[in-house]
Amino acid sequence: MTQIFETIMLICFGISWPISVVKSIKSRSAKGKSLVFTIAIIIGYCAGIAGKICSGAINYVFWLYILNLAVVTLDLIISIINIRRDDLIEKNSKKAEAIEVKDTDSVTSVGKKTAKA
């Protein structure tokens, strides 16, 4: 009976991770993601796997742990890629703003020189 409840729990958790992976791929952003949370989930699945190995209960529930761990790890990898992408976009945005400010300043100084003449 305990395996049935554990299976239901793993299936319920397992349903959410592919959805998260698809959302991460489509959004191409890590905004709203927590790496600490994802790593904590990975540690939890590793503990569940270790528990199954220690108890010798290598059965279908064990493989659900492995499947969930694989999908959560994929989500973590995609999140790291998206964080790097977000950082690059932010860096480029700041560079573009700096160039705009510099161009605006040079236009203003040219206008002042013209006004004096």
Instruction: Spell out the SS3 assignment of 25-64.
Output: HHHCCCCCCCHHHHHHHHHHHHHHHHHHHHHCCCCHHHHH
pLDDT of 44 reads 95
- Rounded Cα distance between 16 and 26, Å, is 16
pLDDT of 99 reads 79
- Rounded Cα distance between 98 and 104, Å, is 10
Q: How much of the chain exceeds pLDDT 70, in percent? A: 87
- Rounded Cα distance between 11 and 4, Å, is 10
Tell me the pLDDT band of 114, cut-offs 50, 70 and 90. low
pLDDT at 107 > cutoff 60? no
Question: What is the reported pTM?
Answer: 0.76
CB 61 within 8 A of CB 3: yes
CB 102 within 8 A of CB 58: no
- Rounded Cα distance between 89 and 76, Å, is 20
Distance from the Cα of residue 63 to its chain's centroid: 24
